[in-house]
Amino acid sequence: MLKNLVLLICIGIVIWFVTIGRLQVTEENVRALYAQAEAAFERADGKAYCELFTDGVSGKIIVRAPSAPISNSKALIDKRYVCTEVAGFYRSKEKMENMSRGVSIDVNRSYDIKSISIASDKKSATVEVLIDIRFVTYVGEMMILKIKQTDQIKISSGKIKFFQREAVGTYSAGAAGNPSYR
């Protein structure tokens, strides 16, 4: 009986080491994480997006709108925030469409990973990313949001996940969103 228990424990340790313990953060799986996040965002899948973050995710995002009366907004990032971020984004898009009397707005998102710095133990990484989000109507670009973001990524529960995010964004009116353009 004791031999069987020891054998089961040994098998469990070997399985853990092979499946989870050897997992390393690599440039390839960091890029895959960003591709998964972007795909989830594009298909408005908040649940899939949420699962890419650790339970203890933290950080902040500051958005500046130089031409607006209130020039800065700040949000603290936690699990609840990231799990509602996708739905909130698409609700905001819908409000913009309603404010523009039902004119359809397309969202063109892109990201550019500027640097990936992997820790020597290969259990975490720091990633700098530039994100470009353009709200476009049939007239042209209505609004542009540019974000400079630094993410901390680590292995959590056997998966590569985001665990910290610091971001600064700037909104500006595109040509179609600039009243002086019309």
- pTM score, two decimals? 0.80
Could you tell me the two tokens for 55? 């339970």
**How confident is residue 182, by pLDDT bands cut at 50, 70 and 90?**
very low
**How confident is residue 95, by pLDDT bands cut at 50, 70 and 90?**
confident
Pairing state of beta strands 159-173 and 53-64? Answer: parallel
Cα–Cα nearest to 162, from 83, 44, 73: 83
Beta-strand ranges (E) seen in 29-119 are 53-64, 72-77, 106-118
**How confident is residue 157, by pLDDT bands cut at 50, 70 and 90?**
confident
Instruction: Render pLDDT for 13-70 as a digit per residue (tens, 0 to 9).
Output: 545 454 445 689 999 999 999 999 999 999 999 999 999 999 999 999 998 877 665 5
Polymer length in residues for the chain: 182
- Worst-scoring range by mean pLDDT, 94-108, 123-137, 157-171? 94-108
Cα–Cα nearest to 168, from 38, 72, 93, 46: 72
Distance (Å, rounded) from C-alpha 145 to C-alpha 172?
7
Distance (Å, rounded) from C-alpha 50 to C-alpha 82?
6
Instruction: Render pLDDT for 108-131 as a digit per residue (tens, 0 to 9).
Output: 999 999 999 999 999 999 999 999
Q: Is-contact 52 60, C-beta < 8 A?
A: no
Could you tell me the two tokens for 26? 């690599």
The torsion of the CA quartet 93, 99, 100, 102, rounded to 10 degrees, works out to: 70
Could you tell me the two tokens for 92? 């905001």
Own/partner pairs, 100-103, CB within 8 angstroms, 24+ separation: 100/137, 100/142, 103/137, 103/138
For the structural domain made of 25-177, what CATH number should be given? 3.10.450.50
